[in-house]
């Protein structure tokens, strides 16, 4: 990588503003998957051991510029403290006088976590004043938030213009591994795209169609394609204004000779719950009052076969609502196929896909689990990541 890393600078005694991606799944105030916290430990430990005052900043969820109680980072600070085996203080704000006072009390090697940076409207707007306010807290900026590197926000991009700015160890590793896998992809090259963030992901499909041999669609994303093919989707997730786009992707796949796979059958439910009534139906038969929450068994078999015959697979987004056991089978079958395909280089991107693989105890069978969802996709598309571009060159 041509960007300076934390190893290229002296941080002893310095206040280091370290942006991490602690956007972790939570339930009832508890962190339910700590992959992203663990992934940030090497940089945090390195900075602390070098005698820096480590000021961590992260977003959590999408609070839209205001304080949301359930999205405070307090449970994350607690878990981080346990993992580090040292006290991690947490502030109730992410900048300002109270935060400065708290930082003033830090000793070399101490670790502090700021409040969710997305509680401020300026964060996502990359507001120059907010970036300056963050910068005032520190002497050095370290970006270790690979998962948020595709966002040009005040704490991922703006701040880098006000301080010496370098990458963290996780950021460096992600760029290195993903870069190597993609510079000369082994073929057949398959991308599996699922999950719920239809708006975010539908656009990347366009670019992936330029690169892959097979494109597999699953998760909530699939129903915009099902609708585009003229079928009713009942209460399933649907992005009405992306239907034409979905159709144009199907046409582009044909034109490019890319094999395009979407569900042929699905599991529908009469309620978004574990207790719901469910049935397997073909995609032509989704009932009006029901919601498709997983791919069906025939689809799973087809997807497994494609995976088995691929040399490189990138996977972003679960095939169904895997958090509920009733709708976890499709995601599990994809994860199992990847685990069994020992000749296939498997790259898992996305907080939830990584959580799914972890849940099924298959994490150690994957070649690389990226901490980035959208970030890994955009990187793989060849887009520049603003959070990386803004760092100092070597
Ligand atoms: N058919 C479906 N209907 C509704 N929600 C779905 C469906 N399939 C999957 N999901 C939900 O999608 C969510 C994950 O989507 P998301 O797009 O956030 O994926 P991701 O892997 O976490 O990627 P990223 O890191 O970009 O967030 C899961 O919580 C899952 O329950
Ligand atoms: O989960 C992610 O992909 C990152 O933390 C970025 O989150 P965002 O999609 O809300 O910007």
User: Does 168 contact ligand 1 (Cβ within 6 A)?
Assistant: no
Indicate which atom in ligand 2 lies nearest the CA of residue 374.
3
Which bound ligand lies closest to the C-alpha atom of 146?
2
Instruction: Calculate how far, in angstroms, residue 19's C-alpha sits from the geometric centre of ligand 1.
Output: 24
pLDDT at residue 380 in the model = 77
Kindly indicate the confidence band of residue 184, based on its pLDDT and cuts at 50, 70 and 90.
Answer: confident
Question: What is the mean pLDDT of the segment spanning 182-197?
Answer: 90
36 is catalytic: yes
Per the prediction, the chain carries an average pLDDT of 95
pLDDT at residue 76 in the model = 98
End-to-end alpha carbon distance in the chain = 9
pLDDT at residue 200 in the model = 79
* Residues, the chain: 394
* pLDDT at position 280 over 90: yes
Which bound ligand lies closest to the C-alpha atom of 153?
2
Rg (CA), the chain: 22
Q: Indicate if ipTM > 0.95.
A: no
What's the rounded Cα separation, in Å, for the pair 369 and 351?
10
* pLDDT at position 180 over 90: no
Question: What is the mean pLDDT of the segment spanning 93-118?
Answer: 98
10 Å Cβ neighbour count for 73? Answer: 26
Describe the strand order of the beta sheet including 278-282 as a list of residue ranges: 278-282, 265-269, 291-295
pTM reported for the whole predicted model = 0.81
Kindly indicate the confidence band of residue 377, based on its pLDDT and cuts at 50, 70 and 90.
Answer: confident
List C-alpha distances in Å: 277 to 82, 265, 267, 318: 41, 17, 10, 21
197 is catalytic: yes
Dump pLDDT digits (tens) for 1-40: 789 999 999 999 999 999 999 999 899 999 988 889 999 9
What's the rounded Cα separation, in Å, for the pair 72 and 80?
14
pLDDT at residue 168 in the model = 98
Indicate which atom in ligand 1 lies nearest the CA of residue 377.
26
Task: For residue 392, report the phi and psi dihedrals to the nearest 5 degrees.
Answer: -70, 140
What's the rounded Cα separation, in Å, for the pair 174 and 266?
34
10 Å Cβ neighbour count for 362? Answer: 18
3-class secondary structure for 217-228? Answer: ECCCCHHHHHHH
Kindly indicate the confidence band of residue 276, based on its pLDDT and cuts at 50, 70 and 90.
Answer: very high
pLDDT at residue 373 in the model = 83
């Amino acid at each position: 990588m041509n960007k300076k890393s934390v190893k290229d600078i002296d941080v002893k005694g310095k206040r280091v503003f370290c942006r991490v991606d602690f956007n972790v799944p939570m339930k009832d105030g508890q962190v339910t998957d700590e992959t992203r916290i663990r992934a940030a430990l090497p940089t945090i430990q390195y900075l602390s051991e070098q005698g820096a005052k480590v000021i961590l900043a992260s977003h959590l969820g999408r609070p839209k510029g205001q304080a949301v109680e359930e999205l405070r980072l307090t449970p994350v600070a607690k878990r981080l403290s346990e993992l580090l085996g040292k006290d991690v203080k947490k502030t109730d704000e992410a900048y300002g006088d109270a935060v400065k006072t708290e930082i003033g009390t830090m000793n070399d090697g101490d670790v502090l976590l700021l409040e969710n940076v997305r509680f401020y409207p300026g964060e996502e707007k990359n507001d120059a004043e907010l970036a300056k306010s963050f910068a005032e807290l520190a002497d050095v900026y370290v970006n270790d938030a690979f998962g948020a590197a595709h966002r040009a926000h005040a704490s991922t991009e703006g701040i880098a213009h006000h301080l010496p700015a370098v990458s963290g160890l996780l950021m460096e590793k992600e760029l290195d591994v993903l870069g190597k896998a993609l510079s000369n992809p082994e073929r057949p090259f398959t991308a599996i795209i699922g999950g719920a963030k239809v708006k975010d992901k539908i656009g990347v499909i366009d670019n992936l169609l330029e690169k892959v041999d097979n494109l597999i669609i699953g998760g909530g994303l699939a129903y915009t394609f099902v609708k585009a093919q003229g079928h009713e989707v009942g209460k399933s997730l649907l992005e009405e204004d992306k239907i034409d786009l979905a159709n144009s992707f199907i046409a582009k796949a044909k034109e490019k000779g890319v094999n395009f796979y979407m569900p042929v059958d699905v599991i529908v439910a009469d309620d978004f719950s574990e207790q719901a009534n469910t049935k397997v139906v073909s995609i032509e038969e989704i009932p009006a009052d029901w919601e498709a929450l997983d791919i069906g068994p025939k689809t799973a078999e087809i997807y497994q076969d494609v995976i088995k015959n691929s040399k490189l697979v990138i996977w972003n987004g679960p095939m169904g609502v895997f958090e509920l056991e009733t709708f976890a089978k499709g995601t599990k079958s994809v994860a199992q196929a990847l685990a069994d395909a020992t000749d296939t280089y498997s790259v898992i991107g996305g907080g939830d896909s990584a959580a799914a693989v972890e849940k099924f105890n298959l994490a150690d069978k994957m070649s690389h689990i990226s901490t980035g969802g959208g970030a890994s996709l955009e990187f793989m598309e060849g887009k520049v990541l603003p959070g990386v571009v803004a760092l100092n060159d070597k």
